[in-house]
Amino acid sequence: MNRRTILMGMTAASALLAAGPAFAQTNGPLEVSSPGGVLSVRLSFGEANIQKGIPTYEVRRFGRPVVSPSKLGFRFADAPLLAPDMEVTGVERRSVDNTWEQPWGEKRFIRNHFNELAVTLTETTALKRRMKVVFRVYDDGIGLRYELPDQANLKDVLITEELTEFRFAEDATAWWIPARQPNRYEYNYNTTPLNDVFMAHTPVTMRTEDGLHISIHEAALVDYAAMVLRRTGKHAFQADLTPWSDGIRVRAKTPFVTPWRTLQIADTAGGLITSYLILNLNEPNALGDVSWVEPGKYVGVWWEMHLGTGSWGSGPKHSANTANVKRYIDFAAKHGFKGVLVEGWNVGWDGDWYRDGGDAFLFAQAYPDFDLPELARYGQARGVRLIGHHETAGNVTRYESQLAAALDLYEKHGVRAVKTGYVADAGQIQRVDEKGVVRREYHDGQFMARHHLHVVKEAAKRKISINPHEPIKDTGLRRTYPNWIAREGARGQEYNAWGNPGNPPEHAAILPFTRMLGGPMDYTPGVFDLLNTKRENRDTRVETTLAKELALYVILYSPIQMACDLPEHYEARMAPFQFIKDVVTDWEDTIVLNAEIGDYVTIARKARKNADWFLGALTDETGRMLSVDLGFLDANQTYKAQIYRDGPKADFTSDPYDMEILEGLVTSQTRLALRLAAGGGQAIRFTPASAADRRKLKSI
Ligand code: NOJ
Ligand code: CA
């Protein structure tokens, strides 16, 4: 009998495949396969040198092991281990196939197609505690999470260890950044054998010797500690939850669920980018109408402080003064940018603000030379909104105590997006506990998971979107809270102003396969003065060509994209600036045309609001030729291609500015040869050709 029900369509409904008490009381293995039979997961007990009775899972792809039997379970502070001596007391299976729509995103419609196996495990010993392990198996990856139901012998829970393991079946090359370090996620990526990873933030991405691409991460990190990967043996890792300052990893009360532990698995590097597993495992939009969440482009009073020509603090160099902000508003209005970010506008930046723990910040009080009401009015009269800024220096208790007033002030002045910041000395967040004692917390522990969501929810009440820098990592919560519009959470452009070293050319060829699998990043591309000529000692520069800086707008997805350089630097190069003016930030679809992690990547994206397509391609420090097929274009349409490419002399070290801008006609039949200089890139806009274009332009 085929009891399988597939529901298609736009609803979130799901179908129950099999459930109920009719299961065998045995500990024989239980299996579930993905809808297309690509992946399978098997739950068993005490296999492969693991203590008898401990639940383990393993993952196979086309029958071949990807994850060997790996433990599941928990250790608690004040209760016995939850893992050994468990038996299956419930099995539920279901299949879901539906499609949902993102309010904004890199792709509009997302198919959610999986088979689920949920197994209730009960201790055979006296306490009879229960936990449910849920596996969602997709063709492009798996999610697994624990559900701890309400029960007599498990009420208040203090987790000291999550036993979840990932024992990979073979060696691989891994791309990763270290965890529990002062600079949070802001490290250059390591490319090493899997066995050289020690403690790493997820996503950790790897490629096995025969070319399988795997990325481990998590989805829906809510009221829990981030999962860091700690290597425990050959190719073997364990979830290491970021602790509170007292060593407890997670404080919870049953019933609760953990975040999903995710494995994205693809044949190609690009297949990781177009896997929507993380979003699919998050809950649907909880905010209702989010038409007030506005994707778009912005400029800001920002880069001048990073260059050192302006300052956040008061005094002669204070950048956030009314006249200077008006200059940015005029520039934004003239060139079609909808937002102007202003940092350093509020009292508290004087002195060593982050070493002092941000204890002078007043989030609702402007410096006297910054006229917030006047600037809000001036901007709105020109179709431009201010973008707010709250740098906390990690002083979270202080920020939370002022949060409502701070957001109210911005709401009153029509601010629709606020960038927050958590730059803290040694990366330590300050919390004042119930007894008034100051505690130092990690940026990615349960305390900060709670804090960030609290800010996002408070902001949503006022129709404000939030873009945290030095955030907790992105686990796809934008689906549930679409006003969580972007975040930083990796080395951004700022490192090219003062970083030692800056971001190497391979950085942008690694981000799409690591950090960005979690979600959009506020990288802030678009430096045009690549040699940082305004910096006093000119000791740094941006290690890209100009064409690559343009390509970043397509490659590094974010619904909000900054044009981060100074207005005068754009005014000096208006021809390439046209691409930044034209590129959009909200997409109908995303296609990866080619990719090798750390080497190169080419992505095409279709605009959501019109028929345009945009293409970005970039390479690391090696120049290369890539050939791309434009088969993604509408077959019934001729397009005008506006191409911004590295010129014949371009090279990120010797001639970063050499660029050619050309126009021609293309169709879905065209094959384009992309020539990328060392450290270079290419950016193309495809727009339906007008009759005049067809007369004037030649085919490419
Ligand atoms: C670090 C952020 O990443 C940067 O964008 C910001 O300008 C500074 N903090 C100051 O808040
Ligand atoms: Ca930062």
User: What is the distance in A from the centroid of ligand 2 to the CA of 203?
Assistant: 18
Query: DSSP alpha helices (H): ranges in 316-445?
Result: 322-335, 372-380, 396-412
Cβ contact 342:323 at 8 Å: no
Please tell me if the CB atom of residue 344 comes closer than 6 angstroms to any atom of ligand 1: no
Asked if residue 467 lies in contact with residue 420, where contact means CB atoms within 8 angstroms, the answer is yes
Residue 520: alpha-carbon gap to chain centroid: 4
The band of 27, judged by pLDDT with boundaries at 50, 70 and 90, is low
For residues 70 and 202, give the distance between their C-alpha atoms in angstroms, rounded to a whole number: 18
**Token digits for 257?**
């669920």
469 Cβ below 6 A of ligand 1: yes
Look up the pTM and report it.
0.95
Query: Does residue 620 lie within any of the structural domains?
Result: yes
Residue 47 has pLDDT above 90, yes or no: no
Residue 23 pLDDT > 80: no
Residue found by looking up tokens 């016995």 in the block: 80
pLDDT bracket for residue 84 (50, 70, 90): confident
CB 514 within 8 A of CB 495: no
Distance 423 CA to ligand 2 centre (A): 7
368 falls within a domain? no
In a domain, 597, yes or no: yes
CA angle 284, 259, 255 (to 5 degrees): 90
Instruction: Compute, in angstroms, the gap from residue 269 CA to the centroid of ligand 2.
Output: 27
Give the residue from 250, 280, 310 where a domain finishes: 280
Ligand sitting nearest the alpha carbon of 353? 1
Q: Which of 227, 245, 280 is the last residue of a domain?
A: 280
Active site residues: 494
Closest CA to 417 of 486, 494, 325: 486
Look at residue 525 in the predicted model and tell me its pLDDT: 98
Give the pLDDT confidence of 617-656 residue by residue, as tens digits.
999 999 999 999 999 999 999 999 999 999 999 999 999 9
Q: 315: burial class by Cβ within 10 Å (0-12, 13-18, 19+)?
A: exposed
Distance 421 CA to ligand 1 centre (A): 6
Atom of ligand 1 nearest to the CA of 306: 7
Whether residue 423 has its Cβ less than 6 Å from ligand 1? yes
Per-residue pLDDT tens digits for 169-202: 999 999 999 999 999 999 999 999 999 999 999 9
Closest CA to 68 of 33, 34, 38, 44: 44
Q: Is the distance from the beta carbon of residue 421 to the nearest atom of ligand 1 less than 6 Å?
A: yes
Any atom of ligand 1 within 6 Å of the Cβ of 335: no
pLDDT in tens, 289-313: 999 999 999 999 999 999 999 999 9
Question: Which ligand does the CA of 346 lie closest to?
Answer: 1
Mean residue pLDDT of the chain comes to: 94
Q: Which domain holds residue 641?
A: 508-516+543-560+574-700
Q: Nearest residue CA, atom 7 of ligand 1?
A: 302
Where is 549: in which H helix or E strand?
helix 546-555
**pLDDT on residue 51:** 59
Q: Identify whether the C-beta of residue 67 lies closer than 8 Å to the C-beta of residue 166.
A: yes
Residue 241: pLDDT band by 50, 70, 90 thresholds?
very high
Q: What does the pLDDT average to over 323-344?
A: 98
Please tell me the predicted confidence (pLDDT) of residue 9: 33
For residue 394, give the ligand nearest its CA. 1
**Selected residue with higher pLDDT from 359 and 372:** 372
Domain count, the chain: 2
Considering the domain boundaries, does residue 302 fall inside one? no
Ligand 1: which atom is nearest the Cα of residue 469?
3
> Is 271 strand, coil or helix?
helix
Output the domain CATH number for residue 579.
3.20.20.70
Question: If you measure from the C-alpha of residue 146 to the centroid of ligand 1, how many angstroms do you get, rounded to a whole number?
Answer: 36
Q: What is the pLDDT of residues 455-496, one digit of tens each?
A: 999 999 999 999 999 999 999 999 999 999 999 999 999 999
CATH number for the domain including 83? 2.70.98.10
> Is 275 within a domain?
yes
pLDDT at 52: 63
Domain end marker among 251, 280, 309: 280
Confidence of residue 17 (pLDDT cuts 50, 70, 90): very low
The yes-or-no verdict on residue 611 having pLDDT over 80 is yes
d(CA 569, CA 282): 41
pLDDT at residue 21, as a whole number: 33
Among 301, 302, 390, 391, residue to substitute to test ligand 1 (most atoms within 8 Å of Cβ): 391
CA-only gyration radius of the chain, Å: 26
Among the residue ranges 49-53, 123-127, 284-288, 570-574, the one predicted with the least confidence is 49-53
Residue 340 covered by a domain: no
Categorize the per-residue pLDDT at 4 as very low, low, confident or very high, splitting at 50, 70 and 90: very low
Q: Is the CB of 494 under 6 A from ligand 1?
A: yes
Has residue 403 been placed in a domain? no
Cβ 522 under 6 angstroms from ligand 1: no
